[in-house]
Amino acid sequence: HADLAMYQAKAAGRNTLRFFDPEMHAVLSTRTALESDLRIAIEQEQFFLCYQPQVHVDGKVQGVEALVRWNHPTQGLLSPASFISLAEGNQMIVPLGILILKIACKQLMAWSSIPERRDLTISVNVSTMQFRQLDFVSQVLRVLEKTGAPANRLKIEITESLLMQDSDQMSQKMMLLKNHGVRFSLDDFGTGFSSLSYLKRLPIDQLKIDQTFVRDVFTDVHDAAIVKTIIALGRSLSFEVIAEGVETVEQKNYLTQQGCSYFQGYFFSRPLSIEALEQYIDNMTAKKCG
Ligand code: C2E
Ligand code: MG
Ligand code: MG
Ligand code: MG
């Protein structure tokens, strides 16, 4: 609704409101306030990461996805839905994205000296706008170098929107990072409209089945067919396939039967603070050993 109001206001002419609508006015001034807060928030590093386990079919935690949260001084905890698109709209996603990478890489560095944790990977969501920055590759390499994090533990999650205008420049960027050991996951796979031919041309390591397909896998025959097809496609092209939004044991069993090897979702765990995550991993390990 907020976005629609925004759109209508814009359509009416360059961010001006033709008719005064108090509700719309409130929406717009909240957005503007949040937008100016965003700059300060990045400077003051009011952001932190939650980590959601990614579990192998054998029960081992292979890695985590980093999900950003904003600890807003007056509004409390804000989820990415309320500020990522805002940050994309005014380019603040670039410094925010670098900050997120920094936090994740510091964590990878901290884990690299702990034998039980050094194999964990962290998947970081990168906005299409951030990836398209001319200096994106050097941004990532600089963060890796500064933090000392092992590049081969970092996974970058991109979406199909990035691949829709397939350019040489983009595959070059991916190749450069790939040569340093960075891996790529294609997030929300199946929801975009890109051609499948990029899958063989780009150095993608993992397909991530979008949670909307997983959610309705038992109630919508089309979603079930899509899930099956993505898993089969991934397997035949030798990609790792991970399902997101796995909430029930039935979903996990169905996905396993179809040949999916990695899972992420509330059935396993919600996104966790770093302390809770380490606790979760230790409990899982204890369960497996005894
Ligand atoms: P995403 O990358 O597809 O992340 C998955 C979202 O699904 C997360 O929401 C996660 O908390 C939620 N989720 C995980 N398991 C389940 C489940 O079993 N059921 C349901 N219903 N939901 C589940 P979150 O953290 O609110 O993030 C939303 C989106 O915001 C992400 O979607 C991603 O596109 C974006 N985002 C999150 N963190 C970052 C970031 O650091 N940078 C950028 N650029 N985008 C981010
Ligand atoms: Mg993601
Ligand atoms: Mg996703
Ligand atoms: Mg999503």
Query: Could you read off the pLDDT of 86-135 as tens digits, one per residue?
Result: 999 999 999 999 999 999 999 999 999 999 999 999 999 999 999 999 99
The C-alpha R_g of the chain, in whole angstroms, comes to: 20
Q: Give the rounded distance of the alpha carbon of 229 from its chain centre.
A: 22
Tokens 């990836």 locate to 131
Atom of ligand 1 nearest to the CA of 124: 41
pLDDT at 4 over 60: no
CA 159 – ligand 3 centroid, Å:
8
Residue 61 region by backbone torsions, left for phi larger than 0, else alpha for psi between -120 and 50, else beta:
beta
Rounded mean pLDDT, 69-87: 95
Rounded mean pLDDT, 172-196: 93
pLDDT at 23 over 90: no
Partner residues linked to 169 by β-bridges: none
- Please name which ligand lies nearest the alpha carbon of 52: 1
Q: Is the minimum distance from the CB of 270 to ligand 1 under 6 angstroms?
A: no
Return the DSSP state at 248.
S
Q: For position 2, what pLDDT does the model report?
A: 52
Q: For position 15, what pLDDT does the model report?
A: 53
Q: Is the minimum distance from the CB of 245 to ligand 1 under 6 angstroms?
A: yes
Q: Is the minimum distance from the CB of 210 to ligand 1 under 6 angstroms?
A: no
pLDDT at 66 over 50: yes
Partner residues linked to 48 by β-bridges: 69
Atom of ligand 1 nearest to the CA of 247: 18
Ligand 1, atom 19: nearest CA belongs to which residue? Answer: 245
CA 124 – ligand 4 centroid, Å:
13
Q: Is the minimum distance from the CB of 7 to ligand 1 under 6 angstroms?
A: no
7-16, 147-156, 164-173, 254-263, range with the lowest pLDDT: 7-16
Ligand 1, atom 38: nearest CA belongs to which residue? Answer: 67
- d(C-alpha 157, C-alpha 65), whole Å: 9
- d(C-alpha 42, C-alpha 24), whole Å: 27
CA 20 – ligand 1 centroid, Å:
35
pLDDT band at 67 (very low <50, low <70, confident <90, very high): very high
Q: Is the minimum distance from the CB of 104 to ligand 1 under 6 angstroms?
A: no
Strand residue runs (E) in 93-205: 121-125, 154-159, 183-189
Ligand 1, atom 43: nearest CA belongs to which residue? Answer: 125
Q: Is the minimum distance from the CB of 122 to ligand 1 under 6 angstroms?
A: no
99-103, 197-201, 234-238, range with the lowest pLDDT: 197-201
Name the pTM for this structure. 0.91
Cβ within 8 Å of residue 180, ≥6 positions away: 141, 144, 151
Q: Is the minimum distance from the CB of 190 to ligand 1 under 6 angstroms?
A: no
Q: Is the minimum distance from the CB of 127 to ligand 1 under 6 angstroms?
A: yes
Are 223 and 217 in contact by the 8 Å Cβ rule? The answer is yes
pLDDT at 7 over 50: no
Atom of ligand 1 nearest to the CA of 126: 44
pLDDT band at 30 (very low <50, low <70, confident <90, very high): confident
* Residue to mutate, 49, 67, 92, 246, ligand 1, most ligand atoms under 8 Å from C-beta: 67
Q: Which of 51, 52, 54 is nearest to 62 (CA)?
A: 54
